[in-house]
Amino acid sequence: MVILPLSFVFLSPIATATYPVTAGTGGTGIDPSLIGKSCTSFAAGKLATVDGSVMAGHTLDGPFDFTLSIVPGGRHESDEMVRIDYTGIPGGYQHKVQGETNIPQVSETFKYFHSDCPLANEYQVFFGENTCGTKKELRTLSPEDALLDWTQVARLALQRGRTAREAIKAAGTLIEEHGLSGVGESFLVSDPNEAWCFEIPGFTNEWVAQRIPDDHVCPHANRMRIGEIDLSNPDFFMASSNLIKLAQEKGLYDPAKDGPFNFAEVYNSKYGHISIDNRRREWRMMSLLCPSKDWDADAISYPFSVKPDKKISVKWWIDKVWRDHLEGTVYDKTKEIAAGPFGCPDRPNVKGTRSERSICIGEMAYSWVSQSRSWLPNGIGGVFWLGLDCPRSTCYVPFYVGISEIPKSWQSGDYTTFSEESAWWYFQTIDSFSWLRYNEIHADVRKTFGAIEQEQFSAQSDIEKKAVELYESHPHAAHEYLTKCSNDHAQRAEKTARDLFYSLIVKYRDGMPRTTVSEEWIKRLNRR
């Protein structure tokens, strides 16, 4: 081992990427060249999970709204119209404010959990999101005519759907009437019984959805995933009536020459379809789910879904997938020469350089994994494990869909100013600080947060057992109990993050304690 002086370290400021808006979209579309740097999602059927829950999850990668709030449901007047006033947070992606629209409000809306991509409602319906590119030839709407972006699609679907299927149909109807504003979207939608992939081409009134088999998992990374569709099988497929006809009219599909209609091949943009950033993440998820199969890391396409070698759990997905940097593969980001002597998997934003796109990256607003369970009351059966900022440096916290409050510190913050009143900033500063001496600091972080997460997972069954007992006599008492549990978990994680950051500053001040790096890394450096 070789002693390394402090001067030989890799420092980076807090990373805040800029995501330019697509020209001419009126502030409603992400530049297609950035799709590979965006989100990763998945959904799993109830026979693919260890406890029989339907699972879903999402990483929101980039400078998007990381705050979490609860929007109550309610009754509405017959002449009420939907308003679109959501902007995002300062310093982050800015959504187009449209005020009152020509979309009639429904008589009753359901409670949902709001963030940049609304993620859950009171009926255990969850929405994970991916931005996907669409061939420009298939666009039929101008930016002025297309009304709904990803936030509004998820919001309106969650407000109107008691099941995944019902939410998709509600959103599909709205898309047919008002169109999608943006380059394209894919949502992984789940409820206590079913998991679906719901895809919407950009600047069109079209949509398609495919149900994920109950014993399968569908991984997703920023490109349309639905292939051949069979609309004669409504149990597994839904779509707008004009979806295939539009492709024929644009000269992009000929049944006689092309055979069965393949949505992904016809509608995907060229970049989104072949992007190595997208393909690499899909390959990684496939290889983690089914290590028994020799997956081609350079393949252009992968199956829509797979049956995992072993049933998956929330903890497994968080630890093995959301926190993955391609460790143990030839693309391992902790082993590249650019990882430096301390194996840092993230890279400074240096123009003209690129590295493999791993699932876990520093530029992340939040990530989550959900459980929907048919054998429990909705308020107890639906839970999402939320981690603020980067998965490797955060502490995941369970929020039940029956809760009525969220700590103010988890509802606040933006990208322009560090705030001691915002929980997100403590997790963010820990991750940025870890770049200084990653392998050692990261070990300290995981030891601290890992212990809390393990306690939370171990306590889950007892918490839910007590909640069910309360629910049988007084549902409101059960929801208040879960509100206290979720808030206690969140506040403990935040306090631990704050204390940990200060202790890390003290421990690693002025390059202390003395450290060593491997002879192998020194030899690799000298060979260059």
Instruction: Look at residue 353 in the predicted model and tell me its pLDDT.
Output: 77
Asked if 45 and 307 touch (Cβ cutoff 8 Å), the reply is no
User: How far apart are the C-alpha atoms of 138 and 151, rounded to whole Å?
Assistant: 22
Asked if 201 and 265 touch (Cβ cutoff 8 Å), the reply is no
φ/ψ (deg, to 5) at 274? -105, -5
User: How far apart are the C-alpha atoms of 207 and 376, rounded to whole Å?
Assistant: 32
Q: Is the pLDDT of residue 526 over 80?
A: no
Q: Is the pLDDT of residue 174 over 90?
A: yes
Residues 6+ apart with CB under 8 A from 139: 201, 202, 203, 204
The model's pLDDT over 124-134, given as tens digits with 9 standing for 90+, comes to 999 999 999 99
> Can you tell me the mean pLDDT for 219-227?
97
Asked if 28 and 146 touch (Cβ cutoff 8 Å), the reply is yes
Q: Which residue has the higher pLDDT, 469 or 24?
A: 469
User: How far apart are the C-alpha atoms of 224 and 211, rounded to whole Å?
Assistant: 14
The model's pLDDT over 98-124, given as tens digits with 9 standing for 90+, comes to 999 999 999 999 999 999 999 999 999
CA angle 223, 168, 374 (to 5 degrees): 105
SS3 state of residue 523:
helix
φ/ψ (deg, to 5) at 398? -85, 125
> Can you tell me the mean pLDDT for 336-344?
90
User: How far apart are the C-alpha atoms of 221 and 130, rounded to whole Å?
Assistant: 7
Q: Is the pLDDT of residue 33 over 90?
A: no
Sorted by where each begins, the domain ranges of the chain are 2-374+430-450+496-524
SS3 state of residue 494:
helix
SS3 state of residue 326:
coil
User: How far apart are the C-alpha atoms of 46 and 34, rounded to whole Å?
Assistant: 33
Instruction: Look at residue 8 in the predicted model and tell me its pLDDT.
Output: 32
pTM value is 0.92
Pull the structure tokens for residue 235: 């149990």
3-state DSSP percent of the chain in helix, strand and coil, to 5:
35, 20, 45
| Weakest mean pLDDT among 26-30, 271-275, 477-481 | 26-30
Please report, for residues 104, 132, 221, 478, 502, the alpha-carbon distance to residue 268 in angstroms, rounded to integers and kept in the order given: 32, 8, 13, 46, 47
User: How far apart are the C-alpha atoms of 222 and 278, rounded to whole Å?
Assistant: 6
Q: Is the pLDDT of residue 528 over 90?
A: no
